[in-house]
Chain A
Amino acid sequence: MAATTAVLFPCSPGEAIEAFGDGDGVRILAGGTLLVPELHLRGGAPEQVVALSGAGLDFVKEPCDGEIMARVGAMTPVDRLCTQPAPIGPAARGIGDGEIRAAATLGGNLCAPAGFGDLQAPLLALDASARSAGSDRERTESLEDFLAARDGRLLLEVSYVAPLEMGGGMHLRTTTDGRRVFDDSHYSRPAAGAFASLGRPHAHHFTVMSVSGVRTVGGEVRLAAVGVGPVGVRLRAAEALAHDPEAAGAAAAEEVNPSDDPLASGWYRRRTLPSLVRRVLSELEVGS
């Protein structure tokens, strides 16, 4: 057990970064939903645990007037994301049950092992950035890059261009011919989001697989899936064919490499993915 484990309680993001250091031998205690039962049932004593509950990483910052970015702290509990616009809201509502969602955090979910991580796909579809710390101190990168090399990193926050319904924005500029038009950044804002998942008849079931989608004001479509590999993935081949949902679904099945686990076989996931892609595209009102 953890009798010999040192537990640190940083009181600010800076102290958290300091306490985490290069991450060697350090485990993060966020909501505890994964770490506490693991240490209790599997034993083992990490050298050091950094408990983030007081580190000032629990925040949801919606854009103010003139801003377009939303920022969410890594320690934000999942239940605070349930009211976010699609695809985040419905993905968050599909995690665990009320008591789990009140404890589990965004950061814990994004850094969890395969089988969890339901919030990865919605944030990939939102083209989110991740700010993290570790051996090379702080860096901000795409969430996709972060997920590819998240070991040894302390996730601090994610940020993304906020969906229109979150408010903010409204930059206008004057064209040479004197018209008032939206600033280019407006066209990057998500105008619609959608989420479709497979297999959650009850709170005690895990979501087998889900697809998240975003359509921006400018018409760009981004798709991502979780449950088709160790971490969530962007479905770029499907995005390129978004105007043709049948083709997009087929392309999605081709570009992923799902494996078998107790929830479903890789074959089944690949077979089912196209229908989720089609549902998301239909909800986004893309294509015919």
Chain B
Amino acid sequence: MKITLNGADAQVDSPPLTPLLHVLREELGVLSAKAGCENGGCGACTVLIDGSPRRACLTAAIAADGSEVTTVEGLGTPEALSPVQKAFVHFCAAQCGFCTPGMVIAATAYLDKGGSGSREEITEALAGHVCRCTGYLKIVDAVAAAREGDFDMSVAAESPHTQVRA
């Protein structure tokens, strides 16, 4: 089996029904997709397969054969962050960070599809992704603002949800 992984060709030798998540992490050493439940329930393993977000833990290796697989490593680097990654950093949308790669993938797919950026739509687009730390507000803020692109990355965003009393 062969996949295109973050733009480069990769040979896959795992048995054909191995979950793609296991192939990525244990065979190919791509570690951003996380094994949170391995049962489709948490969203932490979400990757793009031919541009659409999919659970890597539910995808058989053979089902990804010949596909383009993109993980969050393929979206941007620390030196050249993608717009969604920039927004996640600026809005402090990542706390423990374990769900973040899946969130960034789903948010990227949603915006690439031309999502309007309304809170309702973003909530629906991220519905399969569990975050136990943040309460989601800052994540939704980040996705809503991601298309603006440029933020002052030396400071964190002012949160519209925090009321500071004088």
**A interface, CB within 8 angstroms of B:** 1-3, 5, 7, 29, 31-33, 35-37, 39-41, 49, 51, 53, 96-100, 102-103, 202-204
Of B13-21, B80-88, B138-146, the one with at least 4 CB within 8 A of chain A: B13-21
Partner of B17, one of A36, A41, A202, A204: A36
Q: Take A40-B38, A102-B54 as given contacts and tell me if A51 and B63 are in contact as well, using a CB distance cutoff of 8 Å.
A: yes
Give complex CA distance A103, B47 in Å: 13
Of B2-10, B69-77, B120-128, B155-163, the one with at least 4 CB within 8 A of chain A: B120-128
CB neighbours (8 Å) of B130 from chain A are 204
Is B128's CB under 8 angstroms from A39's CB?
Answer: no
- B101 contacts the other chain (CB 8 A): no
Q: Nearest B residue to A27 by beta-carbon distance?
A: B17
- B41 contacts the other chain (CB 8 A): yes
Is A100's CB under 8 angstroms from B40's CB?
Answer: yes
18 more CB-based (< 8 A) A-B contacts, given A1-B15, A97-B43, A102-B54: A5-B15, A29-B17, A29-B62, A32-B58, A40-B19, A40-B38, A41-B39, A49-B17, A96-B40, A97-B128, A97-B129, A98-B53, A98-B124, A98-B125, A99-B43, A99-B106, A203-B127, A204-B128
Q: How many A-B residue pairs have CB under 8 A?
A: 89
Give complex CA distance A39, B63 in Å: 15
Is B128's CB under 8 angstroms from A96's CB?
Answer: yes
Give complex CA distance A41, B35 in Å: 12
Is A100's CB under 8 angstroms from B38's CB?
Answer: no
Is B63's CB under 8 angstroms from A33's CB?
Answer: no
Is B15's CB under 8 angstroms from A99's CB?
Answer: no
CB neighbours (8 Å) of B63 from chain A are 29, 32, 51, 53
Is B124's CB under 8 angstroms from A103's CB?
Answer: no
CB neighbours (8 Å) of B22 from chain A are 40
CB neighbours (8 Å) of B30 from chain A are none
**What 9 A-B pairs come out closest when comparing CB atoms?**
A97-B128, A203-B127, A2-B17, A97-B127, A3-B15, A33-B58, A37-B39, A7-B16, A2-B15
Q: Nearest B residue to A31 by beta-carbon distance?
A: B58
